[in-house]
Amino acid sequence: MTALIIDDEIQIRRLLRLALESKGHVIREAENGSLGLQAAVFHKPDVIILDLGLPDMDGVEVLKRLREWSPVPVLILSVRDQEAMKLAAFDAGADDYVTKPFSTAELLARLTAIQRRHSSDEASNLQIGPLNLDPVHHAATLSGEPLKLTPTEYAMLAQLVKHAGKVVTLKQLLRAVWGPQAEHQSNYLRVYANHLRKKLEGSGIEILNEPGIGYRLQIL
C-alpha cells in the first residue's frame, strides 16, 4: 500500500513515515499542495494524508482538485478543529478528519477503516444489461462470456457504466482515465470510444457521443 503525505511540517512527515512504514506502507511525501497533486497523479497512492494549512494553497482546495479525477481515500490532518472547517473538508470529499496533536495509534486505526470502506465500495460489481464489470480483477463479461479489454478500455467503460444513462463530460473522463494532465486530449476519447463500440456491437448497449460535451452509455 502506498501512502502520500501532504504536509509542510517535516517533523509530522517523519513521524507519519515511521508509523506507516512500520505497517508496511510505501511512503511518498509532498511539502505543499501543488507538489501533492503532482505526486497523486504520478504515484497513484492508495491513501492520502492531507494537511489543510499548506503554504501555497488551502488543503480544501487541494482536495477539491483531487476529487475532480480521483476517488482515493483522504484523511485530513490539521490543527484546525472548528466545526465549519471540518464540514468544508467533508463537503469537498474528505473521508475522515483528525486534529493535531494526534495519537499515532488512532490515526492508523482510522486509516485502516477508510481503506477498508473504500475497498468494499470498489469490490461491488458494475452491471448494465448483459455487461458486467468486476472492479477487483478488472475483468468484464458480456452475456456471460469474457470480454477482452485493455486496461484503458476497462477504465473508460467503468466510468460510463457507473454513470449509465447520464452524460459524463469530456474533462471528467479524461481526468478519471488518464489524469488531469490529459484533460485537453479529447482525441483519446474518440479512439477508445470507437474501440469499445466495436466490442459491444450487437449487445444493445450503445456509447453515444454528445458533441463537445461528453459521452453517455445506455441500453437501446
Q: The CATH number of the domain where 106 resides is what?
A: 3.40.50.2300
Residue from 176, 182, 175 nearest 159 by CA: 176
Q: What does the alpha-carbon distance between residue 159 and residue 167 come to, in Å, rounded to a whole number? A: 11
Residues 35 and 72 in one domain: yes
C-alpha pair distances (Å), 6 with each of 36, 59, 62, 121, 153: 6, 9, 10, 25, 31
Regarding whether 118 and 130 lie in a shared domain, the answer is no
Task: Give per-residue pLDDT as tens, 200-220.
Answer: 999 999 999 988 899 999 987
| Same domain, yes or no: 131 and 154 | yes
C-alpha 153/C-alpha 95 separation (Å) is 28
- Give the chain's domain count: 2
**SS3 at position 164:** coil
Pair (58, 161) in one structural domain: no
Is 212 in the same domain as 194? yes
Tell the burial category of 99 from Cβ atoms under 10 Å away from its Cβ (0-12, 13-18, 19+).
middle
Asked whether residue 62 falls in the same domain as residue 139, the answer is no
Please tell me whether residues 65 and 116 are part of one structural domain.
yes
Neighbours of 185 (CB within 10 A): 11
Do 117 and 133 sit in the same domain of this protein? Answer: no
Considering only residues 96 and 120, tell me which one the structure prediction assigns the higher pLDDT: 96
69 or 97, which is more confident: 97
28-41 pLDDT, tens digit each = 999 999 999 999 98
Q: Which of 75, 96, 122 is the last residue of a domain?
A: 122
Q: Which amino acid is at 200?
A: L
CATH number, domain containing residue 140: 1.10.10.10
User: What is the pLDDT at residue 165?
Assistant: 87
Do 130 and 205 share a domain, yes or no?
Answer: yes
Whether 100 and 139 map to the same domain: the answer is no
> What is the SS3 assignment for 15?
helix
Distance of CA 32 to the CA centre of its chain: 20
Q: Range of 101's domain?
A: 2-122
What's the distance, CA 74 to chain centroid? Answer: 10
Do 107 and 66 belong together in one domain? yes
7 & 99 share domain: yes
Distance CA 12, CA 190 (A): 45
Domain boundary among 66, 93, 122: 122
C-alpha cell at 25: 506502507
